[in-house]
Amino acid sequence: MTHETRQKERQRDADRAESTDGADDIDAPARNGADDRFATGVAPNADTEVLSLDSVGKSYGSEPALSGLSLSVEEGEVLALLGPSGCGKTTTLRLLAGLEPPDTGQLHLRGEEIASAGTDTSRPPEERDVGLVFQDFALFPHLTVSENVAFGLAGLDDADREARVAELLELVDLAGRGEAYPDTLSGGQKQRVALARSLAPEPDVLLLDEPLSNLDVRLRVSMREEVHRIIAEAGVTAIWVTHDQEEALSIADRVGIMHDGRLHQIGAPEGVFERPATRFVASFLGQAGFLSGRIEGDRLATDVGPIDRGVLDGVDGPDATDGEAVDVLVRPDDLRVTPASEGHAHGRIVRRQYRGPSFVYRVETTGGDVLHCLHNHTESFDVGQAVRIELVAGHRLAWYPHEEGSGDGADDRGVESEAETDAQAVLDR
**Residues at the contact surface with ligand ATP, assessed by CB under 6 A:** 60, 65, 83, 85-91, 243
Based on CB atoms, which residue is closest to ligand ATP, 89 or 346?
Answer: 89
Minimum distance from residue 124 beta carbon to ligand ATP (Å): 19
Please, are residues 84 and 243 in contact by the beta-carbon 8 Å criterion?
Answer: yes
Please, are residues 339 and 363 in contact by the beta-carbon 8 Å criterion?
Answer: no
Based on CB atoms, which residue is closest to ligand ATP, 11 or 59?
Answer: 59
Minimum distance from residue 64 beta carbon to ligand ATP (Å): 8
Q: How far is CA 185 from CA 22, 139, 182, 192, 223, in A?
A: 45, 11, 5, 10, 15
Based on CB atoms, which residue is closest to ligand ATP, 207 or 387?
Answer: 207
Based on CB atoms, which residue is closest to ligand ATP, 202 or 418?
Answer: 418
Minimum distance from residue 54 beta carbon to ligand ATP (Å): 19
Based on CB atoms, which residue is closest to ligand ATP, 244 or 327?
Answer: 244
CA distance 204 to 383: 54
Minimum distance from residue 61 beta carbon to ligand ATP (Å): 7
Minimum distance from residue 15 beta carbon to ligand ATP (Å): 28
Burial class (CB in 10 A: 0-12, 13-18, 19+), 91: buried
Based on CB atoms, which residue is closest to ligand ATP, 136 or 316?
Answer: 136
3-class state of residue 386 by DSSP: strand
Please, are residues 37 and 19 in contact by the beta-carbon 8 Å criterion?
Answer: yes
DSSP string computed for 152-169: T-TTS-HHHHHHHHHHHH
Question: Torsion over CA of 136, 139, 142 and 147, rounded to 10 degrees?
Answer: -170
Minimum distance from residue 213 beta carbon to ligand ATP (Å): 9
Minimum distance from residue 244 beta carbon to ligand ATP (Å): 10
Closest CA to 226 of 16, 155, 86, 215: 215
Q: How far is CA 36 from CA 50, 120, 173, 256, 402, in A?
A: 25, 39, 43, 17, 21
Please, are residues 399 and 328 in contact by the beta-carbon 8 Å criterion?
Answer: yes
